[in-house]
Structure 1
Amino acid sequence: MNTLFAPFQPDAHGVPLTDVVIRTACRDDLPFTAGLAAQREGAGVAEWTAIHGRQFEDDKRVLLVAEHEDEVIGYAWLAWLTPVADGGRNAPDGWYLSGVVVAPAFRRRGVGRRLTQARVEWVLERGEPAFYAVSGSNRASRALHAELGFRELTDDFTLPGVVFGRGDGILCRVDARPDAEVIDLASRR
C-alpha cells in the first residue's frame, strides 16, 4: 500500500471543520506550505520553501491554502500544462490539479475536499475544463473526484514528470457539467 495516499475508508469521517477559509496563497504562506511538504515528503523546510517559491513565481501555477484559526493547515496546487509539447502523450493542454497536502491533525475533516472544490471552481470560472491524473490504486482520491464530477478519460497517456509506480495512471476531466458520467477504467484491469 502507498503510504502517501489516504487509506480508502469511505465511511470514516471526522467532524467537518466549518470555519476553514480557502484562499489564494500569498508569499507569506510559503514557509507554512513548505513545512507541510517537509512533514509529508521529507527534506528540509528551507528546501521546500525554495521549491514552493519557484512554483509560486510561475504564472502557470496557482497555489490555494486552507486556513483555520489563522493557521495554514493545507494547500493545493493547480498548473497549466502542455503535456504533448513537453514530451508527453495523449493528454490535452489545460489546468491540472496536483499536490493536495493537509496537516495530519486536520485530515478527514473535509479540508482536502474543499481545496479540491475550490480549485475546480477556479478553473471552471475561466471557462476551461480541469484535469487530474491519478493512480488507479488511489481509491480515496478517485472516489472524491468522481463525487465532484470528474470522469475518467484514458489510461493510455503520459504526463512529463509523472510516474505511476504500478503503471496504473488514469487521466480524468471535469467541465461545466458536474453530473458527468464516471467511467471506471481501472475496473477493467
Structure 2
Amino acid sequence: MNSMSGFADYRPGESEARADLTIRPAAPADLEPMLVLQELAGRPTYPQSLRAAIDDVGRLVVVAFAGDELAGWSKTHFYEERDGAAPAGQYLGGVEVAPDWRRRGVATALTDARLNWIAERAESAWYTVNVGNRASLELHRRWGFTEVARASSFHGVEFSGGAGLLLRADLNGNVATGRHTGTTPSTKGS
C-alpha cells in the first residue's frame, strides 16, 4: 500500500502572480524531470509505475511547464472495482508542484485539465485525501467536491494518522474554470 503524507503547508490567502503555463499530457521524455520533482518533495519515486501511467490510455498524466521548466505534474486513476466505500470510477491522483512554483495557479491548472478529461468519460470524479491536508481540501472545494466517506485507506492508499477522506464532485459534462492559460488535454484515450 502507498502512504499519503508530506502535503503542502496550508496558507490561505497567500499567493503570488499566476504563472503563464503550458498544460499538456505527459510524454515519456517528461519522466526524468517528474522523478526529480518527486525527489525534491521528499516523496518516493516509482519510475516503472509512472511510465506505465503515462502509457495507459485509460489514465491521464499531465504536466505544467513554465517555459522550459517543469512547474508541476499530476495524474488520474481508474479503478474498475469498488473498494469498501470507494466505488469504481475515475479518481484524481496527487498533485506535485515544484517549490518555486507553489501558490501560482499550477495545482489549479493541473486539476482543471484532469477534471475536464474525466468529464469526457464520467459524470463524476472521485478524490481521496488525508483529513489533515487542508491545502488540498481548500484547492478542491472550488470544484464542488463533497465528503462521501472516511476510512484509513481507499483503493490501496493508506493515510498517515489513519484518517482519509473520500470526496466526489458532479461534473455534468463541464468543469472548466478558465483559471489558467495553456491547453487542456482531451485527446488521450479518446
The one of the two structures with greater contact order (alpha-carbon pairs below 8 A, sep at least 6) is 2
- Displacement after TM superposition at 1:55 (Å): 2.7
Q: Does 1:57 align with 2:61?
A: no
- Displacement after TM superposition at 1:150 (Å): 0.9
**Equivalent in 56, 67, 70 of residue 69 of structure 1:** 67
C-alpha root-mean-square deviation of aligned residues, in Å? 2.1
Partners of 2:152 and 2:14 lie apart in 1 by: 33
Partners of 1:167 and 1:119 lie apart in 2 by: 27
- Asked if 1 retains the 8 angstrom alpha-carbon contact of 2:151 and 2:163, the reply is no
Identity %: 35
Q: Unpaired segments of 5 or more residues in structure 1?
A: 179-189
Partners of 2:123 and 2:147 lie apart in 1 by: 17
Aligned partner of 1:182 in structure 2 is none
Query: Which amino acid letter does the alignment assign opposite residue 138 of structure 1?
Result: N
Q: Does 1:37 align with 2:35?
A: no
Aligned partner of 1:9 in structure 2 is 11
- Asked if 1 retains the 8 angstrom alpha-carbon contact of 2:62 and 2:75, the reply is yes
Aligned partner of 2:126 in structure 1 is 131
Partners of 1:10 and 1:54 lie apart in 2 by: 35
- Asked if 2 retains the 8 angstrom alpha-carbon contact of 1:83 and 1:160, the reply is no
Q: Unpaired segments of 5 or more residues in structure 2?
A: 176-190
Of Structure 1 and Structure 2, the greater strand share is in 2
Larger Rg: 1
Query: Which amino acid letter does the alignment assign opposite residue 4 of structure 1?
Result: G
Q: Does 1:114 align with 2:109?
A: yes
Aligned partner of 1:143 in structure 2 is 138
Give the TM-score, by structure 1 length: 0.81
Moved over 6 A (4+): none
Count of residue correspondences: 170
